[in-house]
Structure 1
Amino acid sequence: MATWGYRGTAVITGAGSGIGRALAFALAEKGMDLALVDIREDRLEELRQALASNQRKVTIYARDVADRDAMRRLPSDVAADHDQVSVLVNNAGVALGGQFDQVAEDDFDWLMNINFRSVVDLTRAFLPHLREAARARIVNTSSLFGIIAPPGQAAYSASKFAVRGFSEALRHELDGSNVGLTVVHPGGIATNIATDARIKIDAPPEEIEKRKQSMNKLLRLSPEKAAKAIVEGVEKHRGRVLIGNDAKAAALVARLFPETYYRLIGMQMKGNDGT
């Protein structure tokens, strides 16, 4: 049976809600101290108070992961408050819907900076610290849309495929070292990502809201179950974790039908949406 072999502190970005918040509780239960990062200080403060009963050291850092200078300083800020960092969870992410030619360059860059560049920046910043731990792990959150690429998700899929490619290559580079890497592909997890998404379509506000509600209907699995699957994957040193039957099915269909998978998946998605 696998045992939890990580000690010290876990750094979690996007910790204020969803999977990041659930992971904070799950890792605290494993005995980890926590350094929690999110752009929303109110969410971080509420989480810190909720974690008080776990009797772990919890510090919060209200930072924008797209701020490169702030991310470069983060390891020293965390080191001033904590002992050894042994787990880094690059979880922060945003969504952006719309056909490629509808999405402005600034919006595309905004998403890529948060979803992908911050993963690279934080990995680069924390890797020297992780190498000092007896055992360490990097956990990078990709997506179901890092396995399949539906229309209207060119920017989001580009970022999540980039996270996947970066993570797989780095995992191979780290093979045999004290630092392991797990890339996570969540399916429809009940988080705020659809509600908070930027939607770039030529439509009235009520149509945009309707689309967000339709997407929310597909987000069924609880963040707590997702966090449990991630922790189990880390505990068992898995390189990839697929979360939810939708992610598992999509991975299989995409592997079997690499050029035509969306014909099958698209029909299924329409059926689930009631259209």
Structure 2
Amino acid sequence: MKNKVVWITGASSGIGEALAYAFANEGAFLILSARNNDKLQQVKAKCLENTSKCWVKTMDLSDVNQLEFDVEEVLKQTGKIDLLINNAGRSQRSLAKETPLENDRKIMELNFFSVVALTKLVLPQMLKNKSGHIVVVSSISGKFGFPWRTAYSASKHAIQGYFESLRAELSHDNIKVTIVSPGRIRTNISINALIENGDSYNKMDDGQLNGMSARDCAIKIVRAIKKDKKELLVGKKELTMVYIRKFFPALFYKLVTRISN
């Protein structure tokens, strides 16, 4: 990964921040994006301890109309993008019957449409260079649905379908696609999750608190990228739910109703 241009969205915290440090250790040329410029600058400072090139591009992914200009600016700075890591997103903690459609749209816009829009804008230069790697951070919620995450799960299901199809389309263009499905990772994802009134949940789920560290998660993701893996499940014992859903659906249907948050 040395000197490869790696663009990470959602790089100000959580998995994105941990990925930034992991790729800095590899000597990559990093582009870090998120809305919080102050936090990005802190992440950049730590990255520069291990790599000589790290550039911050503050941006709001939900502003799809601005993304074209953001991509142009990044390409002027770097000349190319070898690896795009679509990591930014937001979770949900609210029942469907209490969630206004506006919130469903917000989650789909950020978690799905903005990811697709950015990928479409980056893809032409990868096709021109006949090389590139696109990584999208989905979730085990994209493998099955469960309570309190209807829109979030829907957005991650959409990500799975879109990028699996895109991978097949790009199979002859030397452009790789890796779908990462984390389980419960120790980040602020539950704290920042959207609730029915539009506010943040502001609580750390027990599952998140006891989950895999973001650092360990990032190490596994980098390893999967190096091996050109098409898909990666990463987490702890919660990953067994993916296999229970596949092989023992009746048991899954019983277990999923017991999830409270």
TM-score by length of 1: 0.87
Q: Contact 1:191–1:223 (CA<8 Å) still a contact in 2?
A: yes
Contact 1:174 1:180 in 2 (8 A): yes
Gaps of 5+ in 2: none
Measured after TM superposition, the shift of residue 84 of structure 1 is 2.1
Shift of 1:8: 2.8
Is the 2:163–2:177 Cα contact (8 Å) retained in structure 1? Answer: yes
Q: Which residue of 2 aligns with 1:253?
A: 244
Structure 1 partner of 2:170: 174
Change (3 A) 1:82 1:214: closer
What TM-score, normalized by structure 2, do the two folds share? 0.91
1:50-102 residue CA offsets vs partner (Å, 9 max, x unmatched): 11212331111111101012212222110121132100000001112211121
Alpha-carbon distance in structure 2 between the residues aligned to 1:173 and 1:74: 25
Q: What is the aligned counterpart of 1:141 among 134, 137, 141?
A: 137
Contact kept? 1:88, 1:139, Cα under 8 Å: yes
Q: What's 1:200 paired with?
A: 196
| CA RMSD between the two structures | 2.1
How far apart in 2 are the matches of 1:56 and 1:258?
50
Equivalent residue, structure 2, for 1:80: 76
Distance 1:236 1:51, change over 3 A: same
C-alpha spacing 1:262/1:213, structure 2 compared with 1 (3 Å): farther
* Structure 2 residue matching 1:122: 3-state secondary structure: helix
Question: How far does residue 21 in structure 1 lie from its aligned partner after superposition?
Answer: 0.6
Q: 1:240 matched to which residue of 2?
A: 231
Whether contact under 8 Å (2:187, 2:208) holds in the other structure is no
CA distance in 1, matches of 2:7, 2:250: 38
Residue 188 of structure 2 contacts residue 204 of structure 2 at CA under 8 Å; is this kept in 1?
A: no
Find the counterpart in structure 2 of residue 27 from structure 1.
Answer: 23
- 1:146 is displaced (CA, Å) by 0.7
In the alignment, structure 1 segments of 5+ residues that lack a partner are: none
Match of 1:224 among 209, 215, 230: 215
Aligned mates of 1:22, 1:98 — CA distance in 2: 28
Answer yes or no: is the 8 Å Cα contact 2:244–2:251 preserved in 1.
Answer: no
1:251 CA displacement: 1.6
Report if aligned partners of 1:87, 1:130 keep a CA contact under 8 Å in 2.
no
Identity fraction in percent: 31
- Inter-partner Cα distance in structure 2 for 1:31 and 1:55: 5
